[in-house]
Chain A
């Protein structure tokens, strides 16, 4: 049983760097999202107009709506995760996980006398 790994003390990223990073990410997101949403939205409206009144139209459009609804759910979850700070200090959980598992195994082995 190796010694439990000492948790790395991560210093918080400087505030100015955080702000720059946020602006850069938002800028890139807008550059990608605006034209792609414009293109997709336009084509989708054309598609709805094409199938309007057609019996098969509902079948043709429903998979897209299903996908959009599912994606919307995940987008909401993603936004919730951002607001909860799930992506701040993004590398920390990997070290904390390993530390805890080592500690659990260490405690179990020291009680039972079994090296894990």
Chain B
């Protein structure tokens, strides 16, 4: 947001934001979230030997697992972020996106990309790269889509003059980083390098997808929505810029910390450890800034549901970064490598942090988009508690399972000892996942009922946060 180039006459919200498109993006995101969680649930059943789709090749557990991860990254997160961006960027820049037609085209094209990815994976055409399993023939289309998204949003951003608000710094970087990260992960290992080199690039890709695509968009959105909901500016804009530039300079090397004790040269592994420690400092500045903002308005955490989603996500963010700090040390990595600890860590960051934030944003925006209060605030509460507690149980369960598995393997016990010992943990994970899944079903039901009410309503109602 520019502080200098503000037009004398403010444009109107309805001229800036394509609300219909925001709704479509959110609904598409939720559809993919349900599909992804269904995939995760089936995979969890496979681990306890109760796969209901046994013998069906196109629905085999390995493929479901890839649909689970890809549907979350490209189906849920990407769609939800794009929906939120269509709300935030025009309001911050006071300018429309470059082209409304391009926005609609990008929406349709992105759904084609995600659905084609799902079909490609089910037909066994997955690319051999974690989170880059999109079949090779889709990669150029996805890359083009990312370029169009960047052009559409960067156009109003670069037209602003004067000091930019931190959210726009994060968004600008995210559009560039995501484009480059996707190209690096999907093209370099496929066509240019192989073996250990490809492993190193793959490690960078997985982590950069979290740190350079999801993280800047997520924090950018938090810097926008939290001050609005609390009706007070962020505690320190200067500190927020320290967080942004710290991420920019330190993050790109951290990805290798997923490959400690591999044939990748040790200087790179040590570099990743140091770089991760530097990022932890950056994370601390961001956490301090947001909790500094909350000081004096702490009751909002209990009374304001979107704020509760946001700050719960921030607590989980702190926990996941604390895990990072531990698992990046060589000693700790030797214990938890390849174990369920990593799975717990992934769920903590993707669901506990970014999905929480996006669901908080949806909880805030849907009544505004439908111009009607929530059908049931009680159901909103159920959605929150089932998601938050379900995730806490799942992450704790998998973290503990990982430590146990690490010790079983380190003590050179037979493999069966670790799988039998993991069984209770995997059972707990099923129930925790079910709680989270039911939470999302409740949310979708609440959205449908709210939409129906909004259509029936003859007069606009008061919307409460």
- Write the chain A residue with the least CB distance to B16: A104
Tell me the dominant secondary structure on chain B's binding face.
helix
A104 touches B10 (CB 8 A): yes
With a CB–CB cut-off of 8 A, which chain A residues contact B245? Answer: 74, 78
With a CB–CB cut-off of 8 A, which chain A residues contact B234? Answer: 94
Q: Is B433 part of the binding interface, using a Cβ–Cβ cutoff of 8 Å?
A: no
Min CB gap A32→B, angstroms: 13
Contacting residues of chain A (60-100) with chain B, CB-CB under 8 angstroms: 60, 63-64, 66-67, 70-71, 74, 78, 85-98, 100
**Contact residue among A5, A91, A116 (Cβ-Cβ distance under 8 Å from B368):** A116
Q: Is B91 part of the binding interface, using a Cβ–Cβ cutoff of 8 Å?
A: yes
Q: Is A115 part of the binding interface, using a Cβ–Cβ cutoff of 8 Å?
A: yes
Q: Is A16 part of the binding interface, using a Cβ–Cβ cutoff of 8 Å?
A: no
With a CB–CB cut-off of 8 A, which chain A residues contact B238? Answer: 87, 90-91
Q: Is B241 part of the binding interface, using a Cβ–Cβ cutoff of 8 Å?
A: yes
Complex Cα gap A96–B6 (Å): 10
A88 touches B163 (CB 8 A): yes
Q: With A63-B268, A74-B249, A94-B234 in contact, do A86 and B163 touch (Cβ < 8 Å)?
A: yes
- Write the chain A residue with the least CB distance to B92: A97
A98 touches B3 (CB 8 A): no
With a CB–CB cut-off of 8 A, which chain A residues contact B197? Answer: 59
**Contact residue among B163, B228, B248, B252 (Cβ-Cβ distance under 8 Å from A93):** B163
Complex Cα gap A103–B294 (Å): 23
Contacting residues of chain B (134-173) with chain A, CB-CB under 8 angstroms: 162-167
Complex Cα gap A47–B268 (Å): 12
A70 touches B371 (CB 8 A): no
Q: How many residues of B contact A (CB 8 A)?
A: 49
* Residue of A74, A91, A93, A105 ringed by the most chain B CB atoms within 10 A: A93
B252 touches A103 (CB 8 A): no
B200 touches A96 (CB 8 A): no
Q: Is B292 part of the binding interface, using a Cβ–Cβ cutoff of 8 Å?
A: no
Q: Is B13 part of the binding interface, using a Cβ–Cβ cutoff of 8 Å?
A: yes
Complex Cα gap A45–B356 (Å): 46
B237 touches A108 (CB 8 A): no
A89 touches B252 (CB 8 A): no
A47 touches B12 (CB 8 A): no
> Count the A-B residue pairs with Cβ separation under 8 angstroms: how many?
109
Complex Cα gap A59–B252 (Å): 17
A93 touches B236 (CB 8 A): no
With a CB–CB cut-off of 8 A, which chain B residues contact A95? Answer: 233
Min CB gap A51→B, angstroms: 10
A90 touches B163 (CB 8 A): yes
B248 touches A74 (CB 8 A): yes
Q: Is B1 part of the binding interface, using a Cβ–Cβ cutoff of 8 Å?
A: yes
B237 touches A47 (CB 8 A): no
With a CB–CB cut-off of 8 A, which chain B residues contact A100? Answer: 1, 6, 10, 91, 94
Q: Is B421 part of the binding interface, using a Cβ–Cβ cutoff of 8 Å?
A: no
Chain A positions 19 through 63: 1 when the CB is less than 8 Å from some CB of chain B, otherwise 0: 000000000000000000000000000010000000000011001
Min CB gap A113→B, angstroms: 6
Q: Is B297 part of the binding interface, using a Cβ–Cβ cutoff of 8 Å?
A: no
- Write the chain A residue with the least CB distance to B272: A63
With a CB–CB cut-off of 8 A, which chain B residues contact A60? Answer: 265, 267-268
A115 touches B163 (CB 8 A): no
**Contact residue among B13, B94, B200 (Cβ-Cβ distance under 8 Å from A63):** B200
With a CB–CB cut-off of 8 A, which chain B residues contact A108? Answer: 12-14
- Write the chain A residue with the least CB distance to B460: A114
With a CB–CB cut-off of 8 A, which chain B residues contact A86? Answer: 163-164
Could you tell me which B residues sit within 8 Å of A by CB distance?
1, 3, 6, 10, 12-14, 16, 91-92, 94, 162-167, 193, 196-197, 200, 204, 224, 227-228, 231-234, 236-238, 241, 245, 248-249, 252-253, 256, 265, 267-268, 271, 368, 371, 460-463
List 11 A–B pairs whose Cβ atoms lie within 8 Å, in order of A's numbering.
A89-B163, A93-B165, A94-B166, A95-B233, A96-B1, A97-B165, A97-B167, A114-B460, A114-B461, A114-B462, A116-B368
Instruction: Give the 8 A-B residue pairs with the shortest CB-CB distance, closest first.
Output: A94-B233, A108-B13, A94-B237, A93-B165, A96-B3, A114-B460, A90-B238, A74-B248
